[in-house]
Chain A
């Protein structure tokens, strides 16, 4: 946990309703700490996450965006997370190509039983993003130096 007043990165976490959101609930049930700057948005399936949502979060000041879904093969809708995997592979690769640090984006598969993994992932991801500092790049991409 951060000390008050210190720089805290803002993390937006999109969690699918069936696995990862339940995984986050389990982390809560087991009182497993993770940073308060992680804010969860519930989506029915990770495949509901439009790249525009990710970009919007960055544009509005998020420092890191993480998508969590059911493990490949376990999607409640059978194939949603497979599409997520392709979409985000291409999007994140593109963002990195534009010079956005790759540590700011992540996809993690978290099942409803993996409360500990959820908390650990959020701790680790927040730490990695915090090390990079504030995300200014996507905001400034179209600005002259």
Chain B
């Protein structure tokens, strides 16, 4: 159901490789399973023709890969979905890679599907999935092929998509979309309306499942520190893996705070969490608070914007007012 096909992207990539604009391509290739599209770097045309894919499972945000890729020789081609283009700008704002060494092609995105929703709908034993028109044809071990409407299995972040507008590119394939009036804060609001006890129960249930695999940190395009504070012996918070340690307990709060005002809300953290913890609800709380306290701010909407936490006005609201405002239960 994507408006641009893999073929179109391959042709674009071949053209740019051929005319020497770039010497390699950052794209998706099929992984072990049909729904497992992994980021890959393609250096030659054959490889590209054989392995490059673009379909409803290509959720991965490539912008973070550019930090490492731009350190290499020559220019790299990157395909940016609207979500990814915000991260791209945010990384540029933070001087994390050399723009000159990237050729960015913006592509439209119709939303990516969530494999766990597909599994729920199709049952276990998925052998293969083919993306056709607006649906997925799922072949399973046990049943006849099932056709699932993509809209039914969209990832949560795509259901409440904030923008279909590519904000950074050298060239655009297809038509650019618009910034959407999304419902992305609905879930946050629901939590805010709960009592403190209910909220605590909710988060204890979610966060106690965390196995500290660091997948959220590793995939996050805002978590690009040379060395994470939790690995920094001078920070006073570094710990070995001890279950009762400070790091263990506070990791998610600190991570969310560190990306506050810089998080573009791409939703990768929740996508990769093997424990299905809705981590985006932490980030979105910060985004919602920032919007409400200091005026609307979208990280990555433009390069060079001043993040709200490194900014101030003399009449900002007081922390006590902020807590009242962010607590719908008591408001």
Contacts and interface: CB of A to CB of B under 8 A. Distances in A.
B309 interface: yes
A4 interface: no
Nearest to A55: B250
A52 B191 CA distance: 24
Contacts of A56: 236-237, 246, 250
Interface in A130-145: 137-145
Q: What DSSP secondary structure best describes chain A's contact surface?
A: helix
Given A85-B318, A94-B285, A96-B323, A141 B312 contact: no
B213 interface: no
A142 B318 CA distance: 29
Given A52-B237, A90-B257, A99 B201 contact: yes
B248 interface: yes
Interface of A: 51-52, 55-56, 59, 72-73, 79, 82-83, 85-102, 105-107, 137-145
B241 to A, nearest CB: 13
B310 to A, nearest CB: 8
Given A85-B318, A101-B196, A93 B249 contact: no
Interface residues of B, number: 56
A108 B254 CA distance: 23
Contacts of B256: 94
Contact of A82 (B203, B249, B312): B312
B289 A90 contact: yes
A139 B253 CA distance: 13
A141 B207 contact: yes
B34 interface: no
A86 B316 contact: yes
15 contacts: A51-B253, A55-B253, A56-B236, A87-B309, A89-B317, A95-B253, A97-B191, A98-B203, A99-B204, A100-B200, A138-B250, A140-B204, A141-B207, A142-B207, A144-B204
Interface string B305-331: 000111111101111111111110010
